[in-house]
A and B are shown apart, each in its own frame.
Chain A
Amino acid sequence: MSTLTATWRTRLAGVLAWAIALALFFPIAWAALTATEQDAYTPTLWFTPTLDSFREVLERAHYPSFLGNSLAVSVISTLLALAIAIPAGYAMAFFPNKRTQQVLLWMLSTKMMPAVGVLLPVYLLAKTAGLLDSITALVIVYTLANLPIAVWMVFTYCNDVPREILEAARMDGANLWQELVYVLLPTMLPGLASTALLLLILSWNEAFWSLNLTSIDAAPLTVFIASYSNPEGLFWAKLSAASVLAIAPILVLGWLAQRQLVRGLTFGAVK
């Protein structure tokens, strides 16, 4: 190591890290480039970029409806999961009893059930209830699938709230409601926001249930994209544009929430 000075080692590490980063990002960048090409048949690096493909995709009558389905399903299921999880996480963090630990671990274990183990009953139940290809079916499934993660995240964030703040409020004569709204809620807000963010990302990208439970009317972007598994040449620019539009919002959300995502995805085990 003595032959390499520290500066050179740092530079070498930087070059290597950047090379790997660019290689891993390349497929996404390539899709974005293809989307701005006039003639995607012959890939070249020298072309006049155009946003025509994006415009065409957005103007096509059906693309906005898939986008709307993705938005509706992820937003509604996230809000529902939060509504059920917040009281549970709050109660288990602040009023634990001897069963709390088992309940939390049991909730976690429900995530170990492979989705394919319950595919047929869920499909048939949805079919019987007339909910196949409906937003309702996806919302129910996503809410249930994400609930354990939501409860765990709310629980770990509640656990991080210093008890002294609540006690101080109580000393000042705050009742339970005031304590919740004026003390706990502001402290919890960042944690709740990152919980919501993780749930949004998971439901936006979910593709097992959406492919199996929806076809046209309630199909989110995952299903729309999958239906173009074999595009014909000239269509590539448009397909790339549709793909980029579908992943861009989540990429940005993911970049913003990197650190909080670690906590959510590992059930608080890595912070």
Chain B
Amino acid sequence: MEHVLESQVNGVGGTPSPAQPQRTRRWLPTLLVSPSVLVLLLWMTVPLAMTLYFSVSRYNLLNPDQTGLAGFDNYRFLLEDPAFWPAIGNTLVLIGSVLAISVVAGTLLAVLFDQPFAGRGVARILVISPFFVMPTVAALIWKNMMLHPVYGLAAWVARLFGAEPVDWLATHPMLSVIIIVAWQWTPFAFLILLTALQSLDPEQKEAAQLDGASPVRIFWHIVLPHLKRAIAVVVMIETIFLLSIFAEIHTTTAGGPGTATTNLAYFVYSLGLQQFDIGIASAGGIVAVVLANVVAFFLVRMLARNLKGVHEQ
């Protein structure tokens, strides 16, 4: 994230603009910034330190007699939990699939909507709408009206073709969750990428067309390089949000059947707020934080490499 966004803040932090008169007392800017820094510092450090502490403590809300430090026992219990590795796997599958779907579909849609056509403004509004639907409503609409084995649209289509309707959330639970989440996030990718695409100088494309370049070549050699930076931003922002996908799972499958749709966020919730083992759940929370940092680290490195040589817009 930082590499991509650094250009935003380059240019500040150097010399203050010479026009600033001396009358602005030096402490005033610091005073104005400090409330934000202070509350964010508290928000970042206190809960995280508590999670870290709980994760090495014996702390079960149902068993208050158990106290004291547990060392790494909670982490050991966590790793031995049969739901742990599936939860890691599900988290990565969910993030990976939704990222792939939303970025590819979002890019293609953005290119399509970059052409002029009748009613483009209205069509664009329709496309971005799913992003503004609150997660629990999205989950409910898909569960009861789209994927329901009796009343759902999918069942109706299946019967139309003489097939036996399936209970999507029971037979293909992860795929169903991926569809719901991708439905919400593709519009986001589309909106960002379309905005970025519209800043592309049309003369560049026209020149290529005059030189006889095919639309496919124009896409690969002009459009895609232009979009790289925006795609990088979309990938990073979606990753942050997708790591904590919770409401969609909570409302549709409650992590099931079995552990089929339990991601790390839902796993920690069920350990802590359903089984009330704060110690083990906190160990899970720390794993989530570590995973987020690993993902962020690799993403930033990968994207920084890809961004080299691409002009800043």
Contacts and interface: CB of A to CB of B under 8 A. Distances in A.
Interface of A: 1, 9-11, 13-14, 16-18, 20-22, 24-28, 30-31, 34, 41, 43, 84-85, 87-88, 90-105, 107-125, 144, 147-148, 151, 156, 159, 163, 166-167, 170, 176, 201, 204-205, 207-208, 211-212, 221-223, 225-226, 228-229, 231, 233, 236, 239-240, 243, 246-247, 250-251, 253-255, 258-259, 261-262, 265-271
A31 to B, nearest CB: 5
A96 B119 contact: no
Please classify how large the interface on chain B is, using the bins under 10, 10 to 19, 20 to 34, 35 or more. 35 or more
A166 B17 CA distance: 12
Contact of A226 (B128, B195, B251): B251
Interface string B141-175: 11111100001010010000000000000000000
A112 B132 contact: no
Given A31-B145, A222-B136, A225-B136, A87 B32 contact: yes
From B17, B47, B244, B281, residue with most partner A Cβ within 10 Å? B47
Contacts of B281: 120
A27 B138 CA distance: 9
From B33, B44, B153, residue with most partner A Cβ within 10 Å? B33
A243 B12 CA distance: 45
Interface of B: 1-2, 4-10, 12-14, 16-17, 19-21, 23-24, 28-30, 32-33, 35-37, 39-40, 43-44, 46-48, 50-51, 54, 109, 112-113, 115-120, 123-146, 151, 153, 156, 183, 186-188, 191-192, 195-196, 199, 214-215, 229-230, 233-234, 237, 240, 243-244, 246-247, 250-252, 264-265, 268-269, 272-273, 278, 281-282, 284-286, 288-289, 291-293, 296
Contacts of A28: 129-130, 133, 141
A166 B19 CA distance: 10
Interface of A, secondary structure class, is helix
Contact of B36 (A99, A107, A222, A266): A107
A147 B40 contact: yes
Contact of B132 (A22, A109, A201): A201
B240 A112 contact: yes
Contacts of A24: 126-127, 129-130, 183, 186-187
B20 A95 contact: yes
A117 B126 contact: no
